[in-house]
Amino acid sequence: MTKILFALKLLFKSPGYLLLSLTIAFLLFVVYFVVNDLALYRSAASISGRLIFLWEVLTNHVSTVWSAAGAYNVLAVGLVSFLSGINLSLTILRVKRTGVFIGRASLPGFLGTLGGAFAASCSACSTALISLLGISGSLAIFPFGGLEISLLAIILLLVSLYYISKSFAEFGILPV
């Protein structure tokens, strides 16, 4: 736990990395919603390609999911996005400091970020993405309507955060 706190302190001590984390988190949040309902955004873009109009469609989409599927779905997507932003920023920081990209910290972070894409928005919207794995019909057996996938993504991202923090200690960037 202290390794994670040291790594986060190192990350957020630099305003550039803090901005990078927040930017990645925001972009992933937007991408998760857009990818899960691509037809909506394609239709909206054909009506008007203005950025302000597309932003209004996105905010209405998030609001609709909040109302229809519950706050937990939107908050889970936000947490997955935030943890992904932190993981990617820490990976960039580690690469910059050590020159090493590949490692056991990379795989859980990638899987958690990918899981966030599958779990984003709502279970009805994400069935198109989840069907790529061949499990769209099994979404009905989930007692929390697909929120379990978000939970799995959060767990994977936390595991990745642990391994990235541990690798900082192994490379001598943080105290062991």
CA distance 176 to 168: 9
Give the HSE-up count for residue 149: Cα atoms under 13 Å, Cβ half-sphere. Answer: 29
Give the HSE-up count for residue 79: Cα atoms under 13 Å, Cβ half-sphere. Answer: 18
Task: Give every residue of the chain whose pLDDT is below 50, as ranges.
Answer: 120-129
Residue 173 DSSP class: S
Structure tokens at 45: 């873009």
- Cβ atoms of 126 and 92 within 8 Å: the answer is no
pLDDT > 70: what percent of the chain? Answer: 71
- Cβ atoms of 150 and 76 within 8 Å: the answer is yes
Q: pLDDT digit string (tens) for 40-78?
A: 899 999 999 899 999 999 999 999 888 887 788 888 888
